[in-house]
Amino acid sequence: MAWFCHYLLVLLLTVNGFLITDKFLLNKRPGRTLVLGGGIYDDNNTEIYETIVRLAGGANQAKLGIVLAASGDFNATCTFYFNIFMNMYHARSIYCIPINVNTTSGNSDPHVIDEIKQQTGIFFAGGEPESVIESLFFKNHIPSPALLAIKEMFNAGILVSGSSAGAECMPSAVMAWGGTGSSYNALQFGTYEGSEVSDRDYQLYDKDGGVGLLDGFIIDAHFSERGREGRLIRLLSDTRHLHHGTDWGFGIDEDTAIVITNVGTEDEKAEVIFKRAPFISIKFPYQNGHLYVTP
Ligand SMILES: *[C@@H]1O[C@H](CO)[C@@H](O)[C@H](O)[C@H]1NC(C)=O
Ligand SMILES: *[C@@H]1O[C@H](CO)[C@@H](O)[C@H](O)[C@H]1NC(C)=O
Ligand SMILES: *[C@@H]1O[C@H](CO)[C@@H](O)[C@H](O)[C@H]1NC(C)=O
């Protein structure tokens, strides 16, 4: 969690020198790296898409594996990201990893696993976070061979990135899902472990956590756009005593991403890129909430 100490500094620098992040990242490979977007649909999110392609090896080099497990429409989402990463940001290749809630055989398919190991970056598309868990884990939160291949590649240094549900699913901590995603639902009716209630309109969480590439935080996306501060505080409050509970959360706005470098080491550090809107970190009990706004 050392990188929280750097926030203020980084963000002050960011206010005046927007591209300080790029300078830092261009120079050397900054250990295990995550780029997490709070919802980056507009193809003009240039800094974020360029950062992903650059950290995955650069234009004409980056081979991106797209995880579509969260998406409700495999083909359309694959095509959407093909157009963005290939046609607009000049990745070398796109591989849509053929695994979702309805098609899980790819999890143990040697061809799929071999393809995953050819990639220089992975991008988790958005949708429903719990569908990522349903697709890429066996019972009892046992990761599939395909997910283990992604983790192995991440540990070996390839970029992992995601947007929206593809960011929310990254933590090892408790993961938010379901509901309307609003603070009203969470505050009024409480939060529930997925198996406790059948009504998916309640604010749900997965007590076993997400994919597990980042420790110590709950991540929320579309943060101010969908008024999610109340839901994140309630979720932290309700689950912090659990095995995968935590006191820390952060909310990422749309058209905003955080780049976390040296993940899982003493030098772990996060920087915000392409901020058009607030980025919020919350420490529970709710006394140290920080709100950073670009001018
Ligand atoms: C991107 O395009 C959308 C839709 O045209 C527009 O609303 C938005 O302001 C643009 N964003 C940036 C950062 O230029
Ligand atoms: C999975 O199959 C169900 C039932 O056919 C369908 O309603 C749903 O849209 C499918 N989901 C995906 C992600 O393809
Ligand atoms: C998705 O594309 C594949 C390959 O082109 C096709 O076989 C399949 O029917 C498509 N699925 C849907 C739901 O459109």
Tell me if 28 is assigned to some domain.
yes
* pLDDT tier, 13 (very low <50, low <70, confident <90, very high otherwise): very low
CA of 102 to the centre of ligand 2 (A): 6
The residue among 4 and 123 whose pLDDT is bigger is 123
**Which helix H or strand E contains 193, and what residues bound it?**
strand 191-193
Taking 60 as the threshold, does the pLDDT of residue 287 lie above it? no
CATH code assigned at 38: 3.40.50.880
The DSSP call for residue 171 is B
Q: Is the separation of the CB atoms in 232 and 218 below 8 Å? A: yes
- Kindly list the distances between the CA atom of residue 53 and the CA atoms of 12, 84, 127, 137, 288, in Å, as whole numbers in the listed order: 26, 11, 22, 27, 34
pTM: 0.87
Tell me if 291 is assigned to some domain.
no
pLDDT of residue 17: 29
Query: Ligand 1: which atom is nearest the Cα of residue 44?
Result: 1
Tell me if 133 is assigned to some domain.
yes
pLDDT of residue 276: 64
pLDDT of residue 42: 75
Tell me the per-residue pLDDT of 211-252, one tens digit each, with 9 for 90 and over: 999 999 999 999 988 989 899 999 999 999 999 999 999 899
17 CB within 6 A, ligand 2: no
100 CB within 6 A, ligand 2: yes
Tell me if 294 is assigned to some domain.
no
Tell me if 229 is assigned to some domain.
yes
Nearest CA to ligand 2 atom 4: 102
* pLDDT tier, 181 (very low <50, low <70, confident <90, very high otherwise): confident
Tell me if 293 is assigned to some domain.
no
99 CB within 6 A, ligand 2: no
pLDDT of residue 257: 92
* pLDDT tier, 279 (very low <50, low <70, confident <90, very high otherwise): low
Pocket test for ligand 2, best of 97, 102, 131 (most atoms within 8 A of CB): 102
Taking 50 as the threshold, does the pLDDT of residue 293 lie above it? no
CB-facing half-sphere around the CA of 267: CA atoms within 13 A: 6
Tell me if 292 is assigned to some domain.
no
Q: Is the separation of the CB atoms in 68 and 77 below 8 Å? A: yes
Tell me if 1 is assigned to some domain.
no
| Mean pLDDT computed over 41-57 | 89
Residue 63: domain span: 6-285
The total of structural domains in the chain comes to 1
Q: If you average pLDDT over every residue of the chain, what do you get?
A: 85
